[in-house]
Amino acid sequence: MDGEGARRAVVEGLVTLVEALGGRVLAVGVEEQAQLDALSSAGISLGQGFGLGRPVPSMAASLTRASAPLLND
């Protein structure tokens, strides 16, 4: 989604719909800075993926940024 065009329009429409319903969109598979930048500009502030942090055992998850929202949102 780090480009322009139809994919970006679909994602932005999805964000609008989900927010209108009171929810938030979670991006999965974020691996590169370009993806993070595109997601942020589309209004997505939650994500997971190797670009944000490696998986950790569930007991340690609360001690890491692995479950933190993108861009400290």
pLDDT tens column, 14-70:
999 999 999 999 999 999 888 888 888 888 989 999 888 887 776 655 545 545 555
Position 3, amino acid: G
Helix ranges (H only) for 1-73 are 6-20, 33-41
State the burial class of residue 6 (Cβ atoms within 10 Å of its Cβ: 0-12, 13-18, 19+).
exposed
For residue 55, the SS3 value is coil
Domain positions in the chain are 6-72
